[in-house]
Amino acid sequence: MLKGLVSLLLLALLDEGEDYGYSLVVRLRDGGLEEVAEGTVYPALARLEQGGWLSTHLVPSQRGPARKYYKITAAGRRELASQLDAWHRLAKIIDSVTEGTQQ
C-alpha cells in the first residue's frame, strides 16, 4: 500500500518547497514511515520527474557530489490535487465500510 502512496507524499512534501532526495527520505521517516527505503523514494522521484510533475537542478555540495534538488511544477500541483482528492474519497469509503468494526 505504501508504494502507491509514495508519489502523493513526495508531491506533498515538495509542495512545501524544493528539496533533495535523501532529505525527503529523512522527512518521510520522521513523519512516521520509518520503513521507507531510499530504493523506493529515488525511483519514485525519477517517475515524477519523467511525468513532468517535478523539475530538478544540481546544487554543488561542499562534501561529495552535487545534490539534485527537486521542485514541484504546476502540473505536479494539479497531480497532487488529483491524488489528494482520490485519497480522501478512498478514506471515506474505508471509513464507511469499517464503521462499527471492532479494533
Query: Mean pLDDT, to the nearest integer, of 18-27?
Result: 97
- Which residue reads 513523519 in cell numbers? 31
Q: Domain tally for the chain?
A: 1
Examine residue 28 and state whether it is found in any structural domain, yes or no.
yes
Parent domain of 12 = 2-98
Mean pLDDT value across the chain: 93
Q: 74 and 54 in contact (C-beta within 8 Å)? A: no
Examine residue 64 and state whether it is found in any structural domain, yes or no.
yes
pTM over 0.85: yes
pLDDT given for residue 13 in this prediction = 98
CATH number of domain containing 91: 1.10.10.10
Examine residue 20 and state whether it is found in any structural domain, yes or no.
yes
In angstroms, what CA-CA distances link 17 with 23, 47, 57, 58, 70? 12, 19, 14, 15, 9
Q: Helix, strand, or coil here: 72?
A: strand
Examine residue 93 and state whether it is found in any structural domain, yes or no.
yes
Examine residue 63 and state whether it is found in any structural domain, yes or no.
yes
pLDDT given for residue 101 in this prediction = 77
Examine residue 103 and state whether it is found in any structural domain, yes or no.
no
Query: Mean pLDDT, to the nearest integer, of 69-97?
Result: 96
Examine residue 8 and state whether it is found in any structural domain, yes or no.
yes
pLDDT given for residue 4 in this prediction = 75
Report pLDDT digits (tens) over 25-70: 999 999 999 999 999 999 999 999 999 999 999 999 888 899 999 9
- Gap between the Cα atoms of 17 and 58, Å rounded: 15
Q: Which residue has the higher pLDDT, 63 or 81?
A: 81
Examine residue 70 and state whether it is found in any structural domain, yes or no.
yes
Q: What is the 3-state secondary structure (H, E, C) of 41-67?
A: HHHHHHHHHHCCCEEEEEECCCCCCCE
